[in-house]
Structure 1
Amino acid sequence: MRWDLFKLAVSIVTYKHNVDEIVTVVNKLADAVYNSENTCCQVNIVDNHGSFNGADFIKKVSHFDETIISFDYIANPDNNGYGFGNNLALEKSKESDYFLVLNPDAFLNVDALHKAISYMEANDECVLLAPKILSKIGVQESGVKEYPSILVLLARLINLKPLNALCHKSLENYEARSVFRAVEPIDVNIISGCFMLFKTTSLKCLGGFDTRFFMYFEDFDLSLRAQNIGRVIYHPDVIITHLGGGAGRKGLNHVRFFIQSMVKFFHKHGWKII
């Protein structure tokens, strides 16, 4: 890896994903790395299930110039959670300048890294940066949040039209819809974990993710803690596409994880009912 470039470490935590899915994500990431011109990248694939064929993946990405983008496969079949998996990648990234948490269903625009790192280099107080998030059909999604209430979170989980209509104003405030109109980088409170770009020293200072959150709310917790040491910035010109969906549409296990993590979040940061 070249030492005259900004060193970016990327963590992609997989769970029952196949190799070709992750190769597609990595190809988009690689395009953004090469477009950045002043960045080299170490991609850490963390397998939280044990079913990912790491050897096959490494073979399929072997054509990349290792001085610009290289890969490491980390087996974690015990699956101690999403945050734990990202922390494993962080431990292997001691020499990096930046650390990107990237979902295995998130695709970077070709200029995303260049714009994000350029902004963070020019703004030392920015310790965590969030992008504009588009759906697979190009509709902007709410990747920025305000501090949640129990009512809002349960309404989003249940996702019934009558309840959503009743909580319309609260839901709109929670989803920080005003951020959609931003044309310049602005300070925000909570960002989505599908793309979290940190200065590595800042993330290490925070101790990484709180592994008590097995799944859900680990990004909320980390966003709030990041504000204790710097600014959390939403940058509307840094754009990604995210294919993810809500917990309520993923089955009962996800609902259980969501509620468990919600209780832990409020217990740690303070309860808000309405």
Structure 2
Amino acid sequence: MAQINISIVIYDNDVNEIKKTIQSVLNTELDIRLYLIDNSPINNLKVLSTDRRIFYFFNNRNVGYGSAHNIGIKHSIEEGAKYHIVMNPDITFKDGTLENIYAFMESNRDVGSLMPKVYYEDGSLQRLCKLLPTPFDLIGRRFFGNTNWAKRQNESYELHNFDYNSILNTPCLSGCFMFVRTEVFEKSGLFDPRYFMYLEDYDLTRRIHGVAKTIFYPEVSVIHGHAKESYRNGKLLRIHMLSAVKYFNKWGWFFDNERKALNSKVLRSIEK
């Protein structure tokens, strides 16, 4: 059986909440290793390392979301793990979820990364399949959300005409749960450390999409306690905006021919 490694980045999280996530992960017969990458100022969360399959790494400072996950990914590459899962600390799922995804990935060797269907804790769907963003998409969502223009823009960006009941190969998926074939990292690279937090998942998924399929897989689901903290926290908003500047500086602001082509391809696939 192939080895599957999972990395979860933690920072002063509620211990009981993370225990729920860890329980979801460990409830499997698959050969797994769970890496808890701790960006907290003190190592109080070391108490979560209670199983032989859990490996705790204390960074003693907040190195950022992507850089912390890279620690786990590098271990996966060095250990020869076939798959690596990037997961948020507020994800939970039913028994059999990992087994289902593993079987699918084993049968579909052209898939490099997979995101399952994601629900809020109240049972409502999170629309995490998106087009590659333009500056208008991100500005409209954050600052003009109640205007008719921003609502129309967001409906297009969030693919509101997609029913979330079929597999979709799209270059823009959330990083709250990424089931990745480890070998693709050798071609795509890891998380770009220039992003402290936010948009690093879009950047990585886009790069993986350049070498393999990056799909939404609706046959299984997870629950994500997503809080949109940057909408309420001024400091996080600034970090989010800085990440957006870095993203568009890297890929192109208003002129991005690859974005245009990839987004058109996704829209055509939905219309079929």
Gaps of 5+ in 1: none
How far, CA to CA, are the matches of 2:168 and 2:177 in structure 1? 17
Q: 1:43 is matched with which residue: 14, 25, 34?
A: 34
Query: How high is the TM-score relative to the length of structure 1?
Result: 0.87
In the other structure, the counterpart of 2:62 is 79
Q: Does 1:6 align with 2:28?
A: no
Structure 1, 125-134 or 152-161: larger mean CA deviation: 152-161
Identity of aligned residues (%): 27
Give the whole-Å Cα distance in 1 for the aligned partners of 2:161 and 2:102.
25
Distance (Å, rounded) in 2 between the aligned partners of 1:168 and 1:250: 20
2:5 touches 2:83 (CA, 8 Å); kept in 1? yes
SS at 2:154 equivalent: helix
Equivalent in the alignment of 2:82: 97
Q: Which residue of 2 aligns with 1:153?
A: 138
User: Which of 26, 47, 54 pairs up with 1:56?
Assistant: 47
CA contact (8 A) 1:11 1:89 kept: yes
Q: How does 1:221-236 map to 2 (within 5 A)?
A: 221-236=203-218
Matches within 5 A, 1:101-140: 101-140=86-125
- Deviation digits for residues 92-117 of structure 1 (CA, Å, limit 9, x no counterpart): 22221100000011112323212211
DSSP-derived class of the 1:13 partner: strand
Q: Which amino acid aligns with 1:207?
A: G
Q: Distance in 2 between matches of 1:248 and 1:20?
A: 23
Structure 2, unpaired ranges of 5+: 256-272
Three-state SS of the structure 2 residue aligned to 1:190 is: coil
Letter of the 1:224 partner, please give it.
R
C-alpha offsets along residues 180-203 of structure 1, whole Å, 9 cap, x if unaligned? x14332211201010011011112
The alignment status of 1:17 with 2:2, answered yes or no, reads no
Give the whole-Å Cα distance in 2 for the aligned partners of 1:250 and 1:243: 16
Q: Is 1:217 matched with 2:208?
A: no
| Displacement of 1:159 | 6.0
TM-score by length of 2: 0.87
Q: Which runs of 4+ in 1 moved over 6 A?
A: none
Aligned CA-pair RMSD: 1.7
Q: AA paired with 1:191?
A: L
Q: CA deviation at 1:177?
A: 2.3
Write out aligned runs for 1:258-273 (5 A).
258-272=240-254
Paired residue type of 1:171: N
Mapped contact 1:44–1:73 kept (Cα < 8 A): yes
Matching residue within 129, 146, 153 for 1:144: 129
**Aligned-residue offset at 1:158:** 2.9
Cα distance in 1 for residues equivalent to 2:58 and 2:186: 22
The residue identity in structure 1 corresponding to 2:31 is: C
Match of 1:205 among 162, 187, 193: 187
Q: Is the 8 A contact 1:158 1:248 kept in 2?
A: no
Q: Is the 8 Å Cα contact of residues 188 and 210 (structure 2) preserved in structure 1?
A: no
**Counterpart amino acid of 1:196?**
M
